[in-house]
Amino acid sequence: MVGLFALLPRRRWTRLFAKLTAFAVVVLAIVVLADTVARQSLARPLNLYLDVRLLSAVLGLLRSTAGALVATLIVPSALLGAGLLTWLLARLLEPTEMGHSSWIVRATGATLIVLSGLGLLAEKAPWIRHRMDHPALGVATQQIRHFGRMLNERSRFEAEMAASRASYSDQPGLLKRLDGRDVVFGFVESYGMSAITDPRYANVVVPRLHTLTRRMASAGLYLATGALVAPIQGGQSWLGRGSLLSGLWLDNQLRYDLLLASPRETLIDDFRHAGYRTAALLPAITLAWPEGERLGYDEIYAHKDIDYAGPAFNWVTMPDQFTWSYLEQRIRRDDDSRPLFAEVGLISSHAPWTPILTLLDDWSTIGNGAAFSRWENAGERPVDLWRDHDRVRENYALSIDYAIQAATAYAERYVDDRTLLLVLGDHQPAPIITGQDASRASPVHVITADPALLEPFLEWAFVEGGLPDPNRAPPRMDAFRDWFVSALSAP
């Protein structure tokens, strides 16, 4: 490339062409890097059409893991670095007379352009392919294909909505088999099947699930477990929960936005039609959440609405045990006589998986959460922990172990014959935890004091106890709504 530009005459248009070429090379290098990050964190290629809006979430995660200073500096530093790289490449490419110092600019620019062009060599260099996954031109072509596909996504999604049942308001005996019981869906962050099937985590998580089975039996409760396939991995939990609640496959942000822009009803509306009050307890929601109003919850408890006096734990705004306690003490004890449907976000198992808390034995001491202050400075700093991937994986297993302990203790104390509890994984964690070819299934535990309520689950794809049947192919999350309403409505 340098040789080509050296043959061009020094004109205004060639200087402009050199600047534009340098800019294009830098942008391409950034896109390749972003594609690599997307594959490692979300187990899918980058989709620029949709993923630009995730930048704020990435910065929020950086702020909680690497610190506010790093998160604040990273954007201007990246822009400054990209600008400097573009300038150096433009100087390298710009046709000019060789001067006494031009060799410095050319040498520097040559080094940088080699680094930027590594993606172009990825097909022939396995060590680069391992890092970059696709050559740069392939990534660029892929983004063009994504753009074309997204232009047609609206019509495809509208056709899918039209072909499926939007409302169950006229369903005979809607959810009557629940007999007015409270229904709680507790979504455990990053709880995927790898926690059970991968030997690196199974030696921690599987014994905990055996303990769950024994303790539920001792408490006079019945337990069944299955799995559901999520549309995402590593992040964007709302797409998994949205697929389960809507009965539509929401594997990208555009589909989620189209759902919100449509009048289509969800499982939340089904419960409302059946005479339930509906609540969302989501401590990870720290910004405005107009989506909650569109989805139609009667009550929304985001971070700002929850009276929590304890510390945050990096990205985790409050521990699961407090969230479970708040559900029981503040939401389920409401004076409203209607039964409750609650969606609960359990985030102690969210990356960066430090610190790992210990469960409080006496739930009466939880109160406003000040009791968790003892762990305020516990654990490693995320930036230190993540230097060692083996220790990151160890902490992932321990965080899932804590989440299951908290759910077990809640069920022992508060699940009675007027409660149906589902503890669900929202998605698999990132490929650094699962590997590149892991299933996207997540476990689902059903707990009740009435064995008759387990029968529909056992007829579907669930088995008794705390472990799913590894030989059964799990259904997708978008199949859940239609099945749940049909199975639990009176015939």
Convert the chain into a string of H (helix), E (strand) and C (coil). Answer: CHHHHHCCCCCHHHHHHHHHHHHHHHHHHHHHHHHHHHHHHHCCCCCHHHHHHHHHHHHHHHHHHCCHHHHHHHHHHHHHHHHHHHHHHHHHHCCCCCCCCHHHHHHHHHHHHHHHHHHHHCCCCHHHHHHHCCCHHHHHHHHHHHHHHHHCHHHHHHHHHHHCCCCCCCCCCCCHHHCCCEEEEEEECCCCCHHHHCHHHHHHHHHHHHHHHHHHHHCCCEEEEEEEECCCECCCHHHHHHHHHHCCCCCCHHHHHHHHHCCCCCHHHHHHHCCCEEEEEECCCCCCCHHHHHHCCCEEEEHHHCCCCCCCECCECCCHHHHHHHHHHHHCCCCCCCCEEEEEEECCCCCCCCCCCCCCCCHHHCCCCHHHHHHCCCCCCHHHHCCCHHHHHHHHHHHHHHHHHHHHHHHHHHCCCCEEEEEEECCECCHHHHCCCCCCEEEEEEEECCHHHHHHHHHHCCEECCCCCCCCCCCEHHHHHHHHHHHHCCC
Give mean pLDDT, residues 216-228: 96
On the question of pLDDT at 83 being above 90, the answer is: no
Task: Flag the least confident range among 39-53, 75-89, 319-333.
Answer: 39-53
More confidently predicted of 83 and 349: 349
Task: Flag the least confident range among 45-59, 261-275, 315-329.
Answer: 45-59
Q: What is the pLDDT of residue 138?
A: 64
Give mean pLDDT, residues 179-198: 95
Tokens of 106: 């050319």
Nearest Cα residue to 177 out of 459, 476, 472: 459
Q: What is the pLDDT of residue 131?
A: 46
Give mean pLDDT, residues 357-375: 94
pLDDT band for 10, please (50, 70, 90 cuts). low
pLDDT band for 3, please (50, 70, 90 cuts). very low
Q: How far apart are CA 276 and CA 281, in angstroms?
A: 16
Q: What is the pLDDT of residue 464?
A: 95
Give mean pLDDT, residues 355-379: 93
Give mean pLDDT, residues 195-209: 96
Q: What is the pLDDT of residue 116?
A: 53
Give mean pLDDT, residues 400-428: 96
Q: Is residue 226 within 8 Å of residue 468, measured between CB atoms?
A: yes
More confidently predicted of 28 and 428: 428
Delimit the domains of the chain by residue range: 2-151, 170-488
On the question of pLDDT at 87 being above 80, the answer is: no
Q: Phi/psi class of residue 369: alpha, beta or left (left: φ > 0; alpha: ψ in -120 to 50)?
A: left
Give mean pLDDT, residues 369-374: 94
pLDDT band for 470, please (50, 70, 90 cuts). confident
Q: What is the pLDDT of residue 144?
A: 64
On the question of pLDDT at 4 being above 70, the answer is: no
Q: What is the pLDDT of residue 250?
A: 94
State pLDDT tens for residues 233-290.
888 889 999 999 999 999 888 888 888 888 899 999 999 999 999 999 999 998 888 8
> Which amino acid type is present at position 32?
V
Cβ atoms within 10 Å, residue 110 = 15
On the question of pLDDT at 34 being above 90, the answer is: no
Task: Enter the pTM of the model.
Answer: 0.75
Most confident stretch, 30-39, 153-162, 306-315: 306-315
On the question of pLDDT at 59 being above 80, the answer is: no
- Angle in degrees, CA 119, 120, 126, rounded to 5: 65
Q: What is the pLDDT of residue 369?
A: 94
Most confident stretch, 75-84, 186-195, 281-290: 186-195
Give me the sheet containing 340-346, strands edge to edge: 299-302, 277-282, 340-346, 182-188, 419-425, 441-448, 222-229, 463-464
The fraction of the chain above a pLDDT of 70, given in percent, is 73
More confidently predicted of 394 and 69: 394
Nearest Cα residue to 267 out of 77, 418, 422: 422
pLDDT band for 396, please (50, 70, 90 cuts). very high
pLDDT band for 450, please (50, 70, 90 cuts). very high
CATH superfamily of this structure's domain 170-488? Alkaline Phosphatase, subunit A (3.40.720.10)
Q: Is residue 132 within 8 Å of residue 122, measured between CB atoms?
A: yes
More confidently predicted of 140 and 459: 459
Q: What is the pLDDT of residue 292?
A: 85
State pLDDT tens for residues 110-150.
555 555 555 444 444 444 444 444 566 666 666 666 566 66
Give mean pLDDT, residues 10-31: 67
Tokens of 442: 């997540």
Q: What is the pLDDT of residue 81?
A: 72
On the question of pLDDT at 165 being above 70, the answer is: yes
Q: How far apart are CA 403 and CA 410, in angstroms?
A: 11
Q: What is the pLDDT of residue 428?
A: 94
More confidently predicted of 335 and 220: 220
Task: Flag the least confident range among 93-107, 215-229, 438-452.
Answer: 93-107
Cis upstream peptide for 355 (omega within 30°)? yes
On the question of pLDDT at 108 being above 60, the answer is: no
pLDDT band for 50, please (50, 70, 90 cuts). low
On the question of pLDDT at 168 being above 70, the answer is: yes
